[in-house]
Amino acid sequence: MTIKVGDKMPSGTLTLATKDGPQKISTDDYFKGRKVVLFSVPGAFTPTCDAKHLPGFVEQAGALKGKGVDKIACLSVNDAFVMKAWGKSQNTEDKVDMLADGNADYTKALGLEMDASGFGMGTRGQRFAIVVDDGVVKQLNVEAKGEFKVSSAEHVLAQL
């Protein structure tokens, strides 16, 4: 079942690559008591994700935080090392947390997985953006297949 506005974010574990190595992150702790913009991309370094999606959130980080957002997180079905390398290449630094969902467990818990095996990528996450306030979904923007509109940083910013 796909998550919807008003639902509590599911409990799960994601991985964040840090200078001390991969760190497990409890989603309950991550979303608790803060406003988070969580956006998902089908894959690190893939064309739209690398050229538009992640860069938009890096560029708009200050404006989003000015609207009360505490954390911005990029979610992808990739390993933590790939996410760290991608974040470094995109200068995400303290602007965007690069969260890995290596086995797509959390993406599946959200009900937002997709089959990208036709592209040799297996199970991946759909392109989406969720505004979460203290663990509750306030906005949910899931892209139509092949689109990049409603999950952009600019669209999310306009909703806040």
User: Is 49 noted as a catalytic residue in this protein?
Assistant: yes
Q: Of 112, 90, 126, whose CA–CA distance to 12 is shortest?
A: 112
CB atoms within 10 A of CB 52: 14
Positive or negative CA dihedral for 69, 158, 66, 52?
Answer: positive
- List 3, 9, 25, 49, catalytic entry: 49
Q: Of 87, 146, 137, 82, whose CA–CA distance to 109 is shortest?
A: 137
Residue 16 Cα distances to 19, 33, 80, 150, angstroms: 10, 20, 6, 25
The residues annotated as belonging to the active site are 49
